[in-house]
Amino acid sequence: MSETIFKRMRDLPSTHLLGSGTPMCAGCGGLEAIHEIYDVLGPNTVFVNAAGCMTLLAVYPFTPFRGSWLYSAMASAPAGAQGIRDALDILLKKGRMTPDEDLQTVVLTGDGAAYGIGLSATSGAIDRGLDFLYVCYDNEGYGNTGQQYSEGTPHAARTSTSKGSRGYPGYKKDLFTIWASHEPAYVATVIGAEPLDLARKIETAKSMTGPRLIIALAPCPTGWDYDPRDSAEIGRLAVRSGVWPLKEYRDGKIMHTKIPHPRCPVEDYLCRQGRFRHLFEPERKEDLLREIQARVDAYWEGVSD
């Protein structure tokens, strides 16, 4: 890399992600969320990333971040974070690093790692009270390898491994509740299309210690099959339809941070995405549409705040 590019990188605002050359798809909702999250977290951050789309952000020895980046196997990012946190603590204890030089340890993975392959390592890290922030960008499938279904895939979505006329037969795992049941310091859902809600939650997480977990729904034009320009609108529809509740857990309580009222029909969200086209063509699958709507309605009936 030339001296000029280095200079240009040095002169950019220090909290800004250096994203101009990233090889991500246009309209990537995961990247949008990470941009916004990094703007709040700032440069004193070390990322521990499990294999997935965001791994492409780092091309050794460069990353678009000011801080450091450790690449790990899909199952082990929280274990990597433990090693980093321990090393930082030793340096602090020995006086080889001042407290203001300390780094936030941030795990960054997709849903495949967070909901499935890496869940055991996450559970262990929360149990040990590891001081870390886990950011999951949830594009509801194994995006980097061609959008196979993951445990984050919603019911009836078509994926490259659920191509039948009724899509994925399973149901999206409730990762928020699984994490909250471990009683960590903080858990929140966010989406890049609601940047103020996201920024407030990252500020909250940044001000805390202990295990803190963020799940960002990540509209994915490539895996969800829609025009990249629609990403923000699809994100807003996920919230307005009630499909993606914005909420947080702290001190044993769950609070919704945005209650969509009135909720728009879930269909408004589904019909914008090719992965649900088979619910509308060649004929409407009324039973599936009714079931998906009924599940969302049942969720919100149980919400009192």
**Nearer CB in complex with ligand SF4: 32/197:** 32
Binding mask 41-60 for ligand TPP (x = CB under 6 A): ----------xxx-------
224-253 residues in contact with ligand TPP (CB under 6 A) are none
- From the CA atom positions of the chain, what is the Rg in Å? 19
Q: What order do you get walking across the sheet with 132-138 strand by strand?
A: 68-72, 45-50, 104-110, 132-138, 211-217, 186-191, 246-250, 253-258
**Nearer CB in complex with Mg ion: 82/222:** 222
**Nearer CB in complex with ligand TPP: 105/109:** 109
Tokens standing for 231? 């990403």
Strands 253-258 and 246-250: antiparallel
Interface size with ligand TPP, residues (CB under 6 A): 16
111-170 residues in contact with Mg ion (CB under 5 A) are 111-112, 139, 143
What string of H, E and C letters represents the secondary structure of 35-97? HHHHHHHCCCEEEEEECCHHHHHCECCECCCCCEEEEECCCCHHHHHHHHHHHHHHHHHCCCC
Nearest residue to ligand TPP, scored by beta-carbon proximity:
110
Partner in contact with 25, chosen from ligand TPP, ligand SF4, Mg ion, none, beta carbon below 5 to 8 Å by kind: ligand SF4
Tokens standing for 132? 């870390």
CB 103 → ligand TPP: shortest distance, Å?
23
Interface size with ligand SF4, residues (CB under 6 A): 12
Q: Which of 38, 134, 142, 244 binds ligand TPP (CB under 6 A)?
A: 142
Binding mask 2-41 for ligand TPP (x = CB under 6 A): ----------------------------------------
Distance CA 180, CA 140 (A): 20
Binding mask 102-141 for ligand SF4 (x = CB under 6 A): -------------------------------------x--
Distance CA 293, CA 298 (A): 9
Give the interface segment with ligand SF4, choosing from 80-88, 213-221, 242-250, 279-287 (CB under 6 A).
213-221
**Nearer CB in complex with ligand TPP: 30/242:** 30
Q: Which residues contact 210 (CB under 8 A, 6 or more apart)?
A: 129, 130, 131, 184, 185, 186
Q: Which of 17, 77, 106, 117 binds ligand TPP (CB under 6 A)?
A: 117
Binding mask 49-88 for ligand SF4 (x = CB under 6 A): ----x-----------------------------------
CB 266 → ligand SF4: shortest distance, Å?
22
Give the interface segment with ligand SF4, choosing from 75-83, 115-123, 167-175, 218-226 (CB under 6 A).
218-226
For residue 106, list its beta bridge partners.
Answer: 47, 133
| Residues within the interface to ligand SF4 (CB under 6 A) | 24-25, 28, 30, 53, 139, 143, 218, 220-223
| Residues within the interface to ligand TPP (CB under 6 A) | 51-53, 74, 109-113, 117, 139, 142-145, 150
